[in-house]
Chains A and B, each alone.
Chain A
Amino acid sequence: MRLSTLSYNFRQGIANIWKNKMFSLASIATMTACIFLLGVFYSIGVNFESMVRNAEEGVAVTVLFDEGITDEQIQAIGDSISARSEVSKYEFISAEQAWETYKLDYFNGDEEAAAVFADDNPLANSASYSIYLNDVSMQQSLVTYLEGLDGVREVHYSDVAAKTLTDFNHLIKLISLALIAILIAVAVFLISNTITVGISVRKEEIAIMKLIGAKDSFVRAPFVVEGVVIGLIGSVIPLVLLLVLYQRILNYVAERFDALSNLFSFVPADEVFRFLVPVSLVLGVGIGLIGSRITLKRHLKV
């Protein structure tokens, strides 16, 4: 296609959007809503995932040993643990360390109160490995493995914590995916509707074009431009809205809820939008393209 033809078709596409104001506006609004919600769910999802990851780091599996176990055996158990892929890190806590921590927690560092147990460590049998996982959903298989190891007396773990985190994470992902799929379908439908109206309004013009020798691609081009531009506008608006909103919320939480911001660390805006901007633009343009192509295929047989 010539440059002048391209620019002519581009101008025609823009003119179509203008002539078809109400429907174009409805399509842009739907696209905006669609991409906006996608952004909201993504932001929530990504922040939640990061919180889960933080929380996961705190979920540890503790391995306690049989009485009278030798250092070599403890070492062997350590080697078995380190060989597992789901383990992110593990550390050995000796009976003395365990007692020190306990004293600090329980007696609030009151050495006199703790002195009762001076030479008799009540946690003499409490040397352990603390194991941290890459992914809490793999906790159960690791626990089963650890329980089968020689020299292991007991494995302590929180089944509920791991399961709740994993389930919640899955749920959020599932809901987001379902909603996004529905919204994309609605957006494609609406753009297709807008193009259908455009075609019916310009039926005579299309018929004339065909009769004087226009190629199909020439007839289609303005409609494709229309769909793509609607998609583009419909993805830029929500991106700007989301960026402003996200930063405001982050600032608001940081100012008002000091305690909260210590508890949760939000994912910074640039990290969220590094993914969201390209995905939204591709999605917007893609939906516009698909919406217009489907319609043209159905309605442009002259």
Chain B
Amino acid sequence: MIRLEHVSKTYEAGVQAVTDVSLHIAPGEFVFIVGDSGSGKSTLIKLLLKELNPTHGKIIVGGKDLEKINRRQIPRYRRNVGVVFQNFRLLQDRNVYENVAFAMRVIEAPKKDIKRKVPTILSLVGLAAKYRSLPKQLSGGEQQRVAIARALVNEPKILLADEPTGNLDNRNAWEIMKLLDEINQRGTTVVVVTHNMDFVKTMNKRVITIKKGVVVDDQGGEEI
């Protein structure tokens, strides 16, 4: 599903964020990418979203070489990759329903599809009753659920989560992790970037460890 071949990324200022990373994530896998802040985890997410291009190496996602995707094709590519952020990135002036519907409007989905799918996905993340609430009226955990619902509503094959529990208390963080696991059980490939080792140890999934931009450990998954 995701394949990185000798990927390096050097920023313009000369900072080497990622160095010669090669890895393979199979369809339907649940993978943790762990490392300290500044280790290059977020750069990796940005490379997978084609927000950044690698300085060297090749990235293949869902059989597509990202290098060969031109600017105009990026939107179509991103529709297959759901993404969740540490700070949720919800639209503060719109309610829960609108935030999720927004993801479908953006891809110009028909109105009747929006009306059908948004309530379904809100039930899945347990927020059906709060569809009219504004983000600021929700707890951090609830806001992250909205963000997950938004990432999933277009049925992407891959879900990238960048420190999804970073702003949450322990109980809420667990709820989110369980939800991500559930989503993975339904067949979506899930990649979670985190520095919280408690979950990583407990959940017993594949763990890729990055240090200073280099993969130093890869346990529990298939090797390449």
A and B assemble together: yes
Interface residues contributed by chain B, number (CB under 8 Å)? 23
Q: B89 in the interface, Cβ–Cβ < 8 Å?
A: yes
Q: B27 in the interface, Cβ–Cβ < 8 Å?
A: no
Q: B9 in the interface, Cβ–Cβ < 8 Å?
A: no
Inter-chain contact B108/A218, CB cutoff 8 Å: yes
Q: A214 in the interface, Cβ–Cβ < 8 Å?
A: yes
A5, A207, A210: the one within 8 Å of B105 (CB): A5
B72, B78, B110: the one within 8 Å of A211 (CB): B78
Q: A144 in the interface, Cβ–Cβ < 8 Å?
A: no
Interface string of A1-33 (1 = CB under 8 A from B): 110110010000000000000000000000000
Query: How many whole Å from B53's CB to the nearest CB in chain A?
Result: 14
The residues of A that contact B103 with a CB separation of less than 8 Å are 212
Q: A161 in the interface, Cβ–Cβ < 8 Å?
A: no
Inter-chain contact A5/B108, CB cutoff 8 Å: yes
Inter-chain contact B108/A209, CB cutoff 8 Å: no
Interface string of A94-115 (1 = CB under 8 A from B): 0000000000000000000000
Most buried by B among A8, A207, A210, A213: A213
The residues of B that contact A212 with a CB separation of less than 8 Å are 78-79, 82-83, 102-103, 106-107, 150-151, 154
A1, A5, A8, A214: the one within 8 Å of B75 (CB): A214
Inter-chain contact B49/A211, CB cutoff 8 Å: yes
Q: For the complex, give the distance between the alpha carbons of A5 and B114 in Å.
A: 12
Q: For the complex, give the distance between the alpha carbons of A3 and B111 in Å.
A: 10
Q: Given that A204-B89, A208-B91 are known contacts, is A213 also in contact with B110, CB under 8 Å in the complex?
A: no
Q: B186 in the interface, Cβ–Cβ < 8 Å?
A: no
The residues of A that contact B116 with a CB separation of less than 8 Å are none
Q: A205 in the interface, Cβ–Cβ < 8 Å?
A: yes
| Residues 207 to 235 of chain A near chain B (Cβ within 8 Å) | 207-216, 218
A219 and chain B: residue at smallest CB distance: B106
Q: B171 in the interface, Cβ–Cβ < 8 Å?
A: no
Q: For the complex, give the distance between the alpha carbons of A128 and B221 in Å.
A: 112
Query: How many whole Å from A11's CB to the nearest CB in chain B?
Result: 11
Inter-chain contact B106/A213, CB cutoff 8 Å: yes
B103 and chain A: residue at smallest CB distance: A212
Q: B76 in the interface, Cβ–Cβ < 8 Å?
A: yes
Inter-chain contact B105/A205, CB cutoff 8 Å: no
The residues of A that contact B154 with a CB separation of less than 8 Å are 212-213
Interface residues contributed by chain A, number (CB under 8 Å)? 18
The DSSP consensus for interface residues of chain A is helix
Query: How many whole Å from A201's CB to the nearest CB in chain B?
Result: 11
Inter-chain contact A205/B91, CB cutoff 8 Å: yes
Inter-chain contact B106/A214, CB cutoff 8 Å: yes
The residues of B that contact A218 with a CB separation of less than 8 Å are 106, 108
Q: Given that A204-B89, A208-B91 are known contacts, is A213 also in contact with B108, CB under 8 Å in the complex?
A: no
Q: For the complex, give the distance between the alpha carbons of A5 and B76 in Å.
A: 17
Inter-chain contact B105/A215, CB cutoff 8 Å: no
Q: For the complex, give the distance between the alpha carbons of A218 and B108 in Å.
A: 8
| Residues 155 to 211 of chain A near chain B (Cβ within 8 Å) | 204-205, 207-211
The residues of B that contact A4 with a CB separation of less than 8 Å are 110-111
A8, A211, A213, A216: the one within 8 Å of B107 (CB): A213
The residues of B that contact A211 with a CB separation of less than 8 Å are 49, 51, 78, 83
B72, B82, B89, B108: the one within 8 Å of A208 (CB): B89
The residues of A that contact B111 with a CB separation of less than 8 Å are 4
| Residues 55 to 107 of chain B near chain A (Cβ within 8 Å) | 72, 75-79, 82-83, 89, 91, 102-103, 105-107
The residues of A that contact B102 with a CB separation of less than 8 Å are 208-209, 212
Q: Given that A212-B150, A213-B154 are known contacts, is A2 also in contact with B108, CB under 8 Å in the complex?
A: yes
The residues of A that contact B75 with a CB separation of less than 8 Å are 210, 213-216
Q: For the complex, give the distance between the alpha carbons of A233 and B121 in Å.
A: 41
A215 and chain B: residue at smallest CB distance: B75
Most buried by A among B105, B106, B150: B106
Query: How many whole Å from A231's CB to the nearest CB in chain B?
Result: 25
B83, B106, B110, B150: the one within 8 Å of A2 (CB): B110
A8-B105, A207-B89, A218-B108 are known contacts; what are 16 more A-B pairs with Cβ within 8 Å?
Answer: A2-B108, A204-B89, A205-B91, A208-B89, A210-B75, A211-B49, A211-B51, A211-B78, A212-B106, A212-B154, A213-B77, A213-B79, A213-B107, A214-B107, A215-B108, A216-B75
Show the binding face of A for B, using Cβ within 8 Å: 1-2, 4-5, 8, 204-205, 207-216, 218
* 4 interchain residue pairs of minimum CB distance: A213-B79, A213-B78, A214-B106, A4-B111
Can you list 17 residue pairs at the A/B interface with Cβ under 8 Å?
A1-B108, A2-B110, A4-B111, A204-B89, A205-B91, A208-B89, A208-B91, A209-B102, A209-B106, A211-B49, A211-B78, A212-B107, A213-B106, A213-B154, A215-B108, A216-B75, A218-B108
